[in-house]
C-alpha cells in the first residue's frame, strides 16, 4: 500500500462527490471504532476509499507530477526543474566506501528530493540549478516524513530533454500558513511563522552512514554523527515544540556538522547559541505529530528559513488591500462590482503562486536520521 497522506486521501474522496468532508470524518471514526482502534486514520480512509471505489492513484499513468508521487511506488517517471544540488557525500561501509548525492527538483505541484548512489553520482557532474531533468524507472521511499525518489539499478535521468519545460515550481509541497492555535495531530504541509522563546540542548547520536538508522551491534561501518534539537515557537496564538533533525538544525543555527561536533565535545559552547537564538523569528514548514509520551503536539520541521520582515509586511499589506477592495465592491454598482471583483481575483491569483528560488532541504539523504 502506498503511503498517501490523510489529507490527500480525504481530498480525493470528497472530489469524487461520494461523501462530503463532515460525513467522511464521521465514517473514518466509525471505521476505527469498528476495528477496535487497531488502524490509523489513514488506514481507515484507505478502506473507505476502496469501499467507495475511489481511485487514489492512477497506476496506468506514465509520468507523474510531484504531488502524485507517494512512498512505496516503483517504476516512477517524473519531470522537474532542479532547484538545488547538494554536494557528493562519501561514507565508509566495512572495507569499502560509497557515495551519495541528491537534488531537489520541482514542478507546479511541489518539490521533492531525488537521490543518487555510488556510480550514479557521476550523472550529476553536468547538472546545474534550473536544468530540467526527466527521471525514469525510479522508486520512492520516505525519509523523515518526506518522500524521496531513488534512482535504483534500472533508473536513469535525461538532462534538458528536447521539448520539455517546467514553467513554475511551487514552493515546498504546497505548504499552507497556519496559526499554532489551528494545529491538530496529523496536519501536514503546514507553514508556521514563529518566534523562538525556549531553546533546548541538542542531543547527539551515531548513525549508519548509508541507511541513516542508529548504529547497532555488529555494524561493520564507520559511524556518522547525527543530532536532533528542540525549540519552543510562539506566534501569539499559542506555543508548540519544534523538532529539528540534523539538516534542519544546521539551517536553524547556521552551523555545519563540524561546528555542531564542537558542541558535542564541549556543551558549554552552546550556551551563547541559546541566548542568540531567543527572540529570533523563523518560517518553518513541516507536519504536526502528537507525542503520546508527553501528551503534547510537536512540529516536525522539514524546511527552515529565517523570517524576512519585508516579505511578511508585503503579505499583510496585500491582504489589507484585498479586504479594502472587497469592501468597496459591496458599495459599488453592479457593473462596477464585477470589474472590481475581477481585479481582486487577479491580485489573489498572483499572490498565491510564487516560483521557487530557494528550497531548504528536509533531512537529506546524505545525512539521514
Tell me whether residue 238 is exposed, middle or buried, using C-beta atoms within 10 angstroms of its C-beta: 0 to 12, 13 to 18, 19 or more. Answer: middle
Judgement on whether residues 137 and 180 belong to the same structural domain of the protein: no
* pLDDT band with cut points at 50, 70 and 90 for residue 245: very high
Judgement on whether residues 187 and 303 belong to the same structural domain of the protein: yes
Judgement on whether residues 296 and 187 belong to the same structural domain of the protein: yes
Classify residue 207: in a domain, yes or no. yes
Classify residue 111: in a domain, yes or no. yes
pLDDT of residue 355: 40
Domain boundary among 41, 56, 71: 56
Q: How far is CA 348 from CA 109, 178, 323, 324, in A?
A: 18, 18, 11, 13
Q: Where are the beta strands (DSSP E) in 94-163?
A: 96-107, 110-117, 132-143, 146-150, 156-159
Domain of 155?
Answer: 61-171
Classify residue 368: in a domain, yes or no. no
Judgement on whether residues 220 and 324 belong to the same structural domain of the protein: no
Model confidence over 174-195: pLDDT tens digits?
Answer: 578 899 999 988 887 789 999 9
- Using a cut of 0.75, tell me whether the model's pTM lies above it: no
Higher-confidence residue of 364 and 143: namely 143
Contact 228, 245 (CB under 8 A): yes
State the average pLDDT over residues 294-303. 92
* pLDDT band with cut points at 50, 70 and 90 for residue 362: very low
Judgement on whether residues 50 and 83 belong to the same structural domain of the protein: no
Residues 187 and 182: their CA atoms lie apart, in Å, by 10
Percent of the chain with pLDDT over 90: 42
The residue assigned the cell 498565491 is: 352
Contact 107, 81 (CB under 8 A): yes
Classify residue 326: in a domain, yes or no. yes
Domain boundary among 56, 81, 103: 56
- Average pLDDT of the residues of the chain: 83
* pLDDT band with cut points at 50, 70 and 90 for residue 235: very high
DSSP-assigned beta bridge partners for residue 64: 78
CATH, residue 135: 2.40.50.140
Judgement on whether residues 199 and 229 belong to the same structural domain of the protein: yes
Given 3-state DSSP classes, what are the helix, strand and coil percentages for the chain, each rounded to the nearest 5?
A: 35, 30, 35
Q: How far is CA 103 from CA 139, 231, 287, 325, 356, in A?
A: 15, 28, 22, 42, 14
Of 163-172, 183-192, 325-334, least confident by mean pLDDT is 325-334
Residues 56 and 12: their CA atoms lie apart, in Å, by 7
Judgement on whether residues 295 and 180 belong to the same structural domain of the protein: yes
pLDDT of residue 211: 65
Question: Is 144's pLDDT higher than 80?
Answer: no
Judgement on whether residues 190 and 284 belong to the same structural domain of the protein: yes
Question: Is 329's pLDDT higher than 70?
Answer: no
Domain boundary among 171, 188, 205: 171
Judgement on whether residues 217 and 326 belong to the same structural domain of the protein: no
Classify residue 245: in a domain, yes or no. yes
- List the one residue out of 242, 223, 240, 220 whose CA is nearest residue 231: 242
Write the secondary structure of 308-337 as one string of H (helix), E (strand) and C (coil): CHHHHHHHHHHHHHHHHHHHHHHHCCHHHH
State the average pLDDT over residues 113-133. 89
Classify residue 132: in a domain, yes or no. yes
Judgement on whether residues 273 and 220 belong to the same structural domain of the protein: yes
Contact 82, 104 (CB under 8 A): yes
Judgement on whether residues 122 and 241 belong to the same structural domain of the protein: no
Number of domains present in the structure of the chain: 4
Judgement on whether residues 268 and 331 belong to the same structural domain of the protein: no
Classify residue 93: in a domain, yes or no. yes
Classify residue 361: in a domain, yes or no. no
pLDDT of residue 317: 73
Amino acid at each position: 500500500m502506498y503511503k498517501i497522506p490523510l489529507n490527500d486521501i480525504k481530498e480525493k474522496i470528497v472530489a469524487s462527490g461520494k461523501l462530503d468532508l463532515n460525513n467522511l470524518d464521521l465514517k473514518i471514526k466509525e471505521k476505527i471504532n469498528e476495528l477496535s482502534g487497531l488502524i490509523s486514520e489513514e488506514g481507515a480512509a484507505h478502506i473507505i476509499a476502496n469501499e467507495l471505489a475511489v481511485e487514489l492513484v492512477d497506476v496506468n499513468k506514465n509520468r507523474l507530477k510531484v504531488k502524485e508521487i507517494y512512498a512505496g511506488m516503483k517504476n516512477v517517471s517524473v519531470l522537474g526543474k532542479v532547484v538545488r544540488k547538494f554536494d557528493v557525500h562519501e561514507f565508509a561501509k566495512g572495507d569499502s566506501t560509497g557515495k551519495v548525492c541528491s537534488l531537489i527538483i520541482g514542478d507546479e505541484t511541489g518539490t521533492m528530493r531525488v537521490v543518487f548512489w555510488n556510480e550514479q553520482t557521476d550523472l550529476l557532474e553536468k547538472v546545474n540549478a534550473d536544468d530540467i531533468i526527466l527521471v525514469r524507472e525510479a522508486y520512492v521511499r520516505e525519509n523523515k516524513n518526506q518522500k524521496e525518489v531513488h534512482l535504483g539499478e534500472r533508473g536513469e535521468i535525461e538532462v534538458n530533454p528536447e521539448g520539455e519545460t517546467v514553467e513554475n515550481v511551487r514552493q515546498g509541497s504546497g505548504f499552507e500558513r497556519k496559526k499554532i492555535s489551528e494545529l491538530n495531530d496529523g496536519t501536514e504541509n503546514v507553514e508556521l511563522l514563529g518566534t523562538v522563546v525556549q531553546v533546548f540542548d541538542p542531543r547527539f547520536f551515531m548513525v549508519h552512514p548509508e541507511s541513516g538508522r542508529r548504529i547497532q551491534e555488529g555494524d561493520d561501518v564507520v559511524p556518522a554523527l547525527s543530532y536532533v534539537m528542540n525549540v519552543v515557537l510562539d506566534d501569539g496564538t499559542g506555543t508548540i515544540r519544534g523538532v529539528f533533525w540534523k539538516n534542519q538544525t544546521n539551517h536553524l543555527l547556521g552551523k555545519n556538522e563540524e561546528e555542531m561536533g564542537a558542541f558535542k565535545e564541549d556543551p558549554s559552547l552552546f550556551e551563547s547559541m541559546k541566548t542568540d537564538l531567543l527572540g529570533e523569528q523563523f518560517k518553518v514548514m513541516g507536519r504536526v505529530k502528537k507525542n503520546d509520551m508527553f501528551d503534547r503536539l510537536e512540529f516536525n520541521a522539514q524546511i527552515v528559513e529565517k523570517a524576512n520582515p519585508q516579505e511578511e509586511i508585503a503579505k499583510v499589506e496585500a491582504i489589507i488591500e484585498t479586504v479594502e477592495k472587497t469592501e468597496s465592491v459591496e458599495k459599488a454598482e453592479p457593473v462596477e462590482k464585477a470589474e472590481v471583483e475581477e481585479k481582486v481575483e487577479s491580485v489573489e491569483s498572483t499572490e498565491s503562486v510564487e516560483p521557487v528560488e530557494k528550497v531548504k532541504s528536509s533531512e537529506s539523504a546524505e545525512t539521514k536520521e
